[in-house]
Chains A and B, each alone.
Chain A
Amino acid sequence: MRTVNEINHKIKQQQAVVWTVEELKARVKEVGVTQAAKEVDVVTTGTFEPMESSGAVLNLGHTDPPIKIRQCWMDGVLAYSGFGAVDLYLGATQMTEYSSMGELADADERDSRSRNAVRDRGGGHVIADLIAGKPVHLRAIGQVTDCYSRASLETTITRETINQFYLYNPRNVYQNFIVGVNGGDRPLFTYLGPLQPQLANAVYSNPGAVSPLLNDPDLKLIGIGTRVFLGGGEGYVAWEGTQHFPLQKRLPNRTPIGPAATLALIGDAKQMSPRWVKGCYFKSYGPSIMIGVGIPLPVLNEEVVVRCAVQDQDLVAPVVDFSIPRRVRPTFGLVSYAQLKTGRLTIDGKSVRVAPLASIFLSRQVALELKQWIEAGKFTLTEPVAPIPMDRTFLAQDQLGAQVSLE
């Protein structure tokens, strides 16, 4: 029907027809798959959700005399430095260390409010601050060698004063996820936020039918090298994501019934915008980061439209009880995203309030923004360099053998 090259030619002439995936779903209802496939060249998807397996690679540039950094904190958050001298990796869920903040921590003891404001921070906030152009305090301890004579460094950096600053996120854009509830008798503080006892609330974290990987369930269009909208800048699919589990059980429409495929994404953080990258914090769980990711899907054939026409009532997620702190937790069955989005769910005959954790409003805005980029000829599509493997099993880590020797 169309090739990526033909679509790109139209994009460059600003003649491509681009719809958000929700516009496509509505159009398919009106005119059917065949007609919709004739009309549209590109469909844009989006999500805006906490993506805790994210982080930033930074290269500081060399000081004089130079330093080989062995330990480093940015605004009190430990960054990994076990590679090249001034290369750093700052992870989104790394917690602020107050002992390393010196005077600031002492001063804050007097003021519980600002102390909490500092306490509830981590790597995600530091990354978001750098993206917002804010200065970040950096303290480093070096190993003195003949090449690198400096033993310590204390300075302030911004995104303009460092060489490379890019996000490399090992696991983003989960293809579907779970719904968390708490069937126990005490409140739980989870990566899905607070879950109140006796099934008092439920939380789901995937935005449903607008979400990228639910519209290309078998990853036929998305692969390694696919250009994406990442945090308001251009990014790329680098690899399969960690915990990539394409063999998850699937419905006849090919969408998975629980957590399945994931992607590793990479992109220049210097291009990104604070609107699409936000530090976040889950009470009694820890810091994380919320990122907007949009993926364009080229309408190469009718099959693409069939998959993109999937609606919230055709997508399901398992309701999982977090009160059992084990790898395999009991479930209360599957629920549709259409049901979740009503804000109410029935479990064991009980009506339970359900809230999202992904921002459905901002997920739509990502799809809309990407659509505008493509319409303006600023963003062209890519063919994957290599496919994402679709046969990965999901291994668990079990301790093998007797842990205590009886001999």
Chain B
Amino acid sequence: MYLACTDFSVTELNKRLWTVKKRVTLTFPKRSVHMPVTYRLAKDFNVAANIIRAQVAPNQIGTLVVELSGDIDQLDAAMDWMRSQDIGISLASREILIDEEVCVHCGLCTGICPTEALSLDPQTFRLNFTRSRCIVCEQCVPTCPVQAISTNL
């Protein structure tokens, strides 16, 4: 599979009336791993695929967590096409949830978060979570000493 982090023409897409974003988990059978999926999504459907997380190896089932954005009809068509290629699509993708009631703002999670999605405010020392940076690696979940962090699945 050709992994291109396509971040192009988002502003152009946003001009359209029905631009939507969907975070999905794609599961590739072994034989689809060679297919340049993100390229086809962009070229054939004008759908931008921002790769959040990927696990792909030759001759193995691959999984890809992507945020797809594009016209609502074209997005549906793109997903129909992927299904026709035997690519599994799960709409319920994992997300990190932080329970504000439980969090004590100790900041232990900020040291292991690889993308700095979790950080402490330099003035207040309260925990900040920048969801757009999160790659859902889930390392913070067992690190949190008060179990304030979980995934939604």
Please report A residues at the B interface, Cβ cutoff 8 Å: 48-50, 117, 120, 193-194, 196, 201-203, 278-283, 288, 290, 341-343, 353-362, 364
A contact residues around B122 at 8 Å (CB): 341-343
Whether A360 contacts B147 by the Cβ 8 Å rule is no
- Which of B110, B111, B119, B139: most chain A Cβ within 10 A? B111
Q: Interface residue count for B (Cβ, 8 Å)?
A: 21
Assembly CA distance A353 to B110 (angstroms): 8
Asked if A357 and B142 make an inter-chain contact with CB atoms under 8 angstroms apart, the answer reads no
Q: Given A343-B110, A357-B108, is A283 in contact with B142 using a C-beta cutoff of 8 Å?
A: yes
For window 82-132 of chain B, which residues contact chain A by CB distance below 8 Å? 104-112, 119-120, 122, 124-126
Q: Does the CB pair B145–A359 fall under 8 Å? A: no
Contact among B106, B143, B146 for A356, CB-based, below 8 A: B106
Known: A357-B106, A362-B104. A281 touches B145 (CB 8 A): yes
Within 8 A of A (CB), among B128-153: 139, 142-143, 145-147
**Quick one: which of A117, A343, A355 contacts B108, CB cutoff 8 A?**
A355
* Cβ B107 vs Cβ A359 within 8 A: yes
Bound state CA distance, A364 and B120, in angstroms? 15
A343-B120, A360-B125, A361-B126 known; A194-B143 Cβ under 8 A: yes
Instruction: Give the docked Cα–Cα distance between A170 and B120 (Å).
Output: 31
B125 → chain A, closest Cβ, in Å?
4
Would you list 21 pairs from A and B whose C-beta atoms are within 8 A, ordered by A residue?
Answer: A50-B145, A117-B147, A120-B147, A193-B112, A194-B143, A201-B111, A280-B145, A281-B146, A281-B147, A282-B145, A283-B142, A341-B122, A342-B122, A343-B119, A343-B120, A353-B110, A356-B120, A356-B125, A358-B106, A359-B107, A361-B126
Nearest-Cβ distance from residue B124 to partner chain A, whole angstroms: 6
- Nearest to A360 among chain B residues (CB) is B125
Asked whether, in the complex, the Cβ of B106 is within 8 Å of the Cβ of A201, the reply is no
Contact check, A196 vs B112: say whether CB atoms are below 8 A apart: yes
Is A362 a contact of B105 with CB atoms below 8 Å? Answer: yes
- Give Cα distance in the complex from A280 to B106, angstroms: 11
